[in-house]
Structure 1
Amino acid sequence: MDSTVRSLQPELTPEIVPQAQPLELPKVAVRGKEKVALSKFEKLMFGVVACATVALMMMLVHTTINVSSSQRQLQDVQSKITKVETTNVDLQQEVGELTSSDRLATYAKENGLTFNDANVRNVTQ
């Protein structure tokens, strides 16, 4: 039996397949960085951005100058207010000194006036 099976089936011998040569890829030369030309739209956009930047810088300088000027005017007004307040305090003190009861009594004695307590009323606000 053993020989019958062998005679019916051909012998399978492994075929030796030659090894395929690796494909060689064509060599591509790598160039250095090349500058790509800008389109008209890109040039236009760069110009618009540059103009806007310059305009904003000029507006910033103008605004800074205006703020500085306003601050100087505010300081001038505040110093004037301080001077007027100081003058008011000095004048109020002078009024208080001139209307003191001791001064009025001294003035009355010097000019021969008399003081009658019955005719005096004190009024407060």
Structure 2
Amino acid sequence: MADSPLKKHNYDYGYTKKPTNFKMESENQQNYSNKKDVVKHTASEKIMLLGLGATGFVAMIALVFTSVLSTQSQQNLQSINASITQTQNKNIDLQQDIGELTNNQKLADITQQNHLQLIEGNIRNIQK
């Protein structure tokens, strides 16, 4: 074991030499990283940022408001359409009733039940 190649080399783990260029870069980087460069905003920039924030807030409120109005108008339209459909259905039912009541066979049956005489010239037709 005395002739081991590991014993021939003296390894120093703690301190290794670094290239000089590397030291210069690391020193420069450390100098820049230690300094805290704070850029102060001017009054006009602050006012501009505040204006942008206020404009964005107003735009968000307007968007919500128009969304609510749109939903309300859509509900109103649906209720109006439902009432129109109901009225149309009533009209169709009434037209069907008129058609049944003005049928010649129906008129002949009514005249026979009441012992009346049916004169074609005296019948009036209901038209739209």
Q: Secondary structure at the match of 2:115?
A: coil
Residue 66 of structure 1 aligns with an amino acid whose one-letter code is L
Provide runs of 4+ in structure 1 moved above 3 Å.
119-125
CA distance in 2, matches of 1:116, 1:49: 87
1:20 — aligned with what?
none
1-side partners of 2:118 and 2:101: how far apart? 17
Q: CA deviation at 1:112?
A: 1.7
TM norm structure 1: 0.68
Provide the rounded CA distance (Å) in 2 between the counterparts of 1:87 and 1:58.
Answer: 44
Task: Please list every run of 5 or more consecutive structure 2 residues that lacks an aligned counterpart in the other structure.
Answer: 1-27
What is the aligned partner in structure 2 of residue 75 from structure 1? 78
In the alignment, what sits opposite 2:117?
114
Give the corresponding residue for 1:34.
Answer: 37
Aligned to 2:89: 86
Deviations 1:29-80 (A, max 9, x none): 4624723111111001000000000001001100100010000000000000
State the structure with more CA Rg: 1
Letter in 2 for 1:100: N
Larger RCO (alpha carbons 8 Å, 6+ apart): 2
Gapped runs of 5+ residues in structure 1? 1-28
Give me the whole-angstrom Cα distance separating, in 2, the residues matched to 1:112 and 1:121. 17
* Whole-Å separation in 2 of the counterparts to 1:75 and 1:101: 41
Q: Which residue in the other structure is 1:66 paired with?
A: 69
- Determine helix, strand or coil for the equivalent of 2:118: coil
Alignment length (residue pairs): 98
C-alpha distance in structure 2 between counterparts of 1:111 and 1:54, whole Å: 80
Q: Secondary structure at the match of 2:74?
A: helix
Aligned pair partner of 2:52 in 26, 49, 52: 49
Identity of matched residues, %: 29
Measure how far apart 1:120 and its partner are: 6.7
Alignment equivalent of 1:103, drawn from 102, 106, 118: 106
Q: Which residue number in structure 2 is paired with residue 7 of structure 1? A: none
Q: Residue 64 of structure 1 aligns to a residue in which SS?
A: helix
Which position in structure 2 is the counterpart of 1:5?
none
